[in-house]
Amino acid sequence: MRFSRGVLVVAGLLTLTAGAKPCIVGGTVTSVSEAPWVIALNTTQSESSSGRYCGATLVTPDKIVTAAHCMDEATSTYYAVQGRANLGDSSTGRVSPISKVWIHPGYNTKNNRYDVAVLTLAKPFTGVPVLPLETRARADAEGAVPTVYGWGDTQDTGPDETLQKAAVPDLGDKTCLANKSYVANGYAAATNICAGYLQGGTDACQGDSGGPLVLNGRLLGVVSWGQGCAQPGDPGVYTEIAGVVNAVRQQVR
């Protein structure tokens, strides 16, 4: 059973997907000064009054990288928020509408491969540090410990709609390829990263889709999908930036 980790508005799908609006499970609260390049990709169509929908990463002053599956609403409904740790506090941060959406041409909703999109900001976030793209496939290495960021569901392990982070060890492709349901739902070594804890307890969750997986100061991956949130034996699946970097680079240059 595959699911995305964005925000779904169909309540009946909640048990099937980690995309519904329920932040990172088992994480810790962090600050926007520590991660200024983390972007909340909100929409006026969100069920939440804060507009919470997905996450994204600022890679140039006017470009953000997110998940393709997050882009299921009209472009005009989306807006990017930078520098707002608590999404309920509209007095903080900077906001920009989205002027253009590029979705990877290889994106396939049946298996969620190439789950990446590049959005252009109508109002660039000038003066904000950006996060470089990871271009080396070898960076996706078993034993590495990247960090995932987001405002998504916490399942009562922390405050919702507040920026959190969690270390999620890279388990190597073989771990997810050994999971029959993950293979059936499209996990691919060339374009995905398998990260988390086999015992469960810490994971990205609903509302974290499109957010950054960061290693050594670079964007290693993008929150894509998984089975449940922080369930034993079901790690998170991320779009591997190195596997899509040539196409993404063309959009962010």
Instruction: Give me the active site residues, please.
Output: 69, 115, 209
* Both tokens assigned to 45: 């169509």
Backbone torsions φ then ψ of 78, nearest 5 degrees:
-90, 150
- Contacts with 81 (C-beta within 8 Å, 6 or more apart), sequence order: 39, 40, 41, 42, 51, 87, 93, 94, 95
Given a contact cutoff of 8 angstroms between Cβ atoms, the answer to whether 78 and 42 are in contact is yes
Given a contact cutoff of 8 angstroms between Cβ atoms, the answer to whether 171 and 235 are in contact is yes
Write b or e for each residue in 146-174: b if 16 or more Cβ atoms lie within 10 A of its Cβ, otherwise e.
bbbbbbbbbbebbebbbbbbbebbbbbbe
